Amino acid sequence: MPTAPLEAKTVVDVDPWLQANAGQIVHRHDLFRKWKDSLEEHEGGFAEFTQGYKKFGFIVKPDNSVVYREWAPNAKEAVLIGEFNSWNRISDPMVKDDFGVWSITVPPTSDGKCAIPHDSKVKISMITHSGERIERIPAWITRVTQDLSVSPVYEARFWNPPEAEVYKFKNKKPPPPKSARIYEAHVGISTSEYRVGTYKEFTSNMLPRIRDLGYNVIQLMAVMEHAYYASFGYQVTSFFAASSRYGTPEELKELIDTAHGMGITVLLDIVHSHACKNVLDGLNHFDGTDHHYFHEGAKGRHELWDSRLFNYGHHEVLRFLMSNLRFWVEEYQFDGFRFDGVTSMMYKHHGIGTGFSGDYNEYFGDNVDLDAVIYLMLANEAMHELFPGCITIAEDVSGMPLLCTPVNKGGIGFDYRLSMAIPDMWIKLLKHKRDDEWDIGNIVHTLTNRRYGEKSIAYAESHDQALVGDKTIAFWLMDKEMYTHMSDLSEYTPVIARGIALHKMIRLIVHSLGGEGYLNFEGNEFGHPEVREYLYTIYDLLLKDPKWLDFPREGNGNSFHYARRQWNVVDDKLLRYRYLNEWDKAINHLEDKYGWLAAPPAWVSLKNEADKVIVFERASLLFIFNFHPTNSFTDYRVGVQEPGEYQIVLSSDEKRFGGFDNIDINSRFHTTAMEWNGRNNWAQVYVPSRTCIVLAKI
């Protein structure tokens, strides 16, 4: 890992390998500056430009008149239609300005009430230059609903609840966490019942769980409305609408406000990398053209995702996307964003069929989509400037340099990047290597291989590993025995003993060594079995229909059987899943006390291939891992920098974590002043096979 000189002032000082591309870095920043200057000159800067949602869509005025505006330059006629005017295509024509923006003002009724009833259906009807009449859901609509008994197509709703029904936020936003412990969650699957979960249920049932586990950030998936539930929220149709599957906009606000009251930060999984190709209830061909919000032709289509790609170089597209970010922060009080598909955005090849070797030529030059990179710079700069403390996380597999460097220093401006190589490493080990073949040096390298000064979110597994076609770590470790030998009334089998031990070790080493933040997908903390139903008696567990997390779709008969979380297995005091849950809780609460995620990167003093032992220090704690499948070590000498007396503050071998209590947690360890493994002192510890301990100075 490179060490930056104290006098470093530029990104090239920190990373001299960037020198060859310094001109392109400057060019990117010049393009960003040109856009920002233009917005300041013509739009009132970020402050005004990002408030497009207060100009476009439906705006209710104090006198209860309604102004509706829509950008549709290809239309030659436009009419607002809906239940309020009996879908009359003549009575409410719209007027077009020089910029292709259509508008209409619907006056209040004679008694001063809003003429468009709350929650009534609306559409925009247009005639294109070819003479075709098309009808679309308004692009800036904030509420759409779906009646599957009638049609899978969404219908736009005019959302204007009475004042008494508008949710009033009660709690202040918590300050940005110094250590980000992220719980990635999906509202719909957060129930154990055979249906879609709700915002209210998540508020009542999930928030207390997440708080008690010690997570201080929630990353909500699949909130932006999407027509296809099985897309996991990644085929967005209405960008300003909170998914109606889970409840109302007011109920989502209550969820976020309640989380804030618990001191929990809430992030939105934002999808600006692409859009659903749906026409009737999406943005595709909105005004009858192929190039409205998107690039035209093949450039505007993602061949693997079967979706549309935004034209980030267009003024109105930037207004739409940047206003979308501000909308979620201001209207719903989200605290930031996890940007999906950043790799796809930043490269013209979208990462398709491309391996990233780390050669800097891969990150600069003709392969880079400069329009998309500049959009990300503008988006990050605007959110951080307008909302100090706003958190942005990039999902990028390429390793783009400067992704998490501030824009004013030549970077793209994200706060964190996801360490996507880490879960891949564990899957490869568990799938292809015996335990005695694990490369300890490679494990440490993968966990510590991150750019100096750019923060990373480490994770052993996310939602990706829970989906059909993949496996969670628990399933890789224990497979079918998870369904037959996870009761405390049965003896430990070698498979279950190994699985529980390694599940704990993997999560702690990722948490403590892998980054400046940590992420877990809901249910994985207790090794959620990849089955959605248990039939068990007090003496045994019987397996029924093992499957992965699988959303209702045509291929499974539109069943919810596999699209839910079985909280009963962790709440059952007879089942061993609770041990993993308690371990997860202990890790988070220990991190909260010592703050290793906010501390400088760990100092690794030992990577012993023969012993399979890893030792490192971070935040004044000494972490010791013995991954050896059979060998335990008595009086094992480990280096430590600070002299003194140490005690165990966490041991994976405790009974409460499903261990065997072979380690005396009341033991004290005294250092000897002698250099060992590059540290000034050493101590001797007992580390049984497949255990880890954490020591703190008394």
Cα 648 to Cα 459: distance, rounded to the nearest angstrom:
25
Residue among 569, 563, 472, 568 at smallest CA distance from 188 = 563
Cα 153 to Cα 135: distance, rounded to the nearest angstrom:
13
A 10 A CB-CB count for 646 gives 22
Cα 185 to Cα 521: distance, rounded to the nearest angstrom:
6
Cα 406 to Cα 413: distance, rounded to the nearest angstrom:
4
Using DSSP's 3-state secondary structure scheme, residue 658 falls into coil
Contact 259, 220 (CB under 8 A): no
Cα 698 to Cα 689: distance, rounded to the nearest angstrom:
26
Cα 658 to Cα 385: distance, rounded to the nearest angstrom:
47
Distance of CA 618 to the CA centre of its chain: 26
Contact 33, 81 (CB under 8 A): no
Using DSSP's 3-state secondary structure scheme, residue 549 falls into strand
> Catalytic residue at 97?
no
> Catalytic residue at 340?
yes
Directed axis angle between helix 315-332 and helix 249-261, to 10°? 60
What is the C-alpha end-to-end distance of the chain, expressed in Å? 31
DSSP one-letter code for 206: I
Sequence-ordered list of residues with C-beta below 8 angstroms from that of 5, at least 6 positions apart, any chain: 13
A 10 A CB-CB count for 104 gives 17
What are the Cα distances from residue 584, in Å, to 212, 232, 459?
Answer: 11, 25, 13
Contact 578, 526 (CB under 8 A): yes
Cα 87 to Cα 312: distance, rounded to the nearest angstrom:
34
Report, in angstroms and rounded to the nearest whole number, the Rg of the chain calculated over CA atoms. 27
Distance of CA 110 to the CA centre of its chain: 48
Q: Catalytic: which of 155, 201, 254, 340?
A: 340
What are the Cα distances from residue 338, in Å, to 274, 448, 489?
Answer: 15, 22, 42
Using DSSP's 3-state secondary structure scheme, residue 180 falls into strand
Helical spans, DSSP H, in 50-171: none
Cα 639 to Cα 605: distance, rounded to the nearest angstrom:
7
Cα 668 to Cα 664: distance, rounded to the nearest angstrom:
9
Q: Strand pairing partners for 458?
A: 518
Please name the amino acid found at residue 549: L
Contact 613, 589 (CB under 8 A): no
Pairing verdict, β 416-418 and 391-394: parallel
Cα 200 to Cα 191: distance, rounded to the nearest angstrom:
11
User: Alpha-carbon dihedral of residues 236, 237, 241, 245, nearest 10 degrees?
Assistant: -80
Directed axis angle between helix 370-386 and helix 22-42, to 10°? 60
Sequence-ordered list of residues with C-beta below 8 angstroms from that of 349, at least 6 positions apart, any chain: 367
Q: Catalytic: which of 70, 395, 461, 525?
A: 395
Which amino acids are annotated catalytic? 340, 395
